[in-house]
Each structure stands twice: as C-alpha cells, then as structure tokens.
Amino acid sequence: MTRTLVFGGARSGKSAYAERLAIASGKPVIYLATAQAGDAEMRSRIAHHQTRRPAEWLTVEQPLALADAIAQYSGPDNLILLDCLTLWLSNLLFSEQIEMPDIGAITPPALFTEQRNLLLQALASCRGDLVMVSNEVGMGIIPQGAISRWFVDEAGRLNQAVAAQCEQVVWVAAGLPLYLKSPASLS
C-alpha cells in the first residue's frame, strides 16, 4: 500500500501526472472527484478532466465525505485517485453557505473540522494505493481578505498533514515531477 500526494500550482500538470501514476500501477482505478459543477467554467474544467480518463475507471463524485469514500473503495487490488484536496477544502468551507467576513477571524463550519479529522484517520487506515492531488496556493502574494488568507493557511496545513502520512510526495511544476519524499528516501 502506497499513499502519494501530488501537488503543485495551477496548471502545473499535477492531475495529469497523478493520472499517469494511476495508469502505471496497472490496477483498477477509482477516481474520487471532489469538484462540483456550480458554473460554466467549472463544468468546462470537469469535462476536460473527464476526457483524459480511461473509460474503465470508476468515477465517484464525493464533494464532502472523502473519508467514507476512501473506506468504501480502498483495497489492496485497486488504486484510488483523489482529485483534488483543495477543491474539497473549499467545498467544506462553504458547505453551510454562510457569509464570511472580509476582515477578522474566520470560523469554519463544524463539518470542516469533522471531515478533516476523518480524512486524516482514513489515510492512516487506507487498505490500498491512494494518489491524492492538491494545489500549492501559498507561494504567491499574501491574499487580501480574511477568507482568502484562511484558505491559504488551511490548504498549507492540510498539505503538511497529508504529506506526513504519505510514503511519496511529488511536487509538479511545468509538468515535471520532483520527488520530495519517496520510499527510497525513507531508509
């Protein structure tokens, strides 16, 4: 069983690289999709990802309860490709559809803390290979607005917590992978 985090910036090639890892495994793939088609742009992005997937992959759309999906679909004979953790984080943050302040403290919905904790527990007990895609959003300017800064901070914390549990961590830039952590580096 190998848990892999593939992360990078927008349009870095991280999803395509994660898909190549899944194909190279030779195992049946369960594609765990977190994106929601809330507008035309997102529908277009989702369609782009769908066209790249082999027809035999099972797609499971799960915008919130990733731990449940991992528990249900993980097994030694398959691979779960989870795309993407930062979309999931956004889904959780806005799950209650409450107005967030422009300044001041952000209080995330209770679902955020609950599902984040459950995800980290699910990673520890995953029974099969898992490749997760996430965005690196904290390398640019500090964003304006409390909700944007909270999101950057929480995405960074989530990436760190997930990476700590993974056997492999791959940074992708310009379509090129850089292995930050791999089984060979653990010995």
Give catalytic residue positions: 49
Structure tokens at 119: 């995800």
- The owner of tokens 């953790």 is 85
Residue 27: both structure tokens together:
């195992």
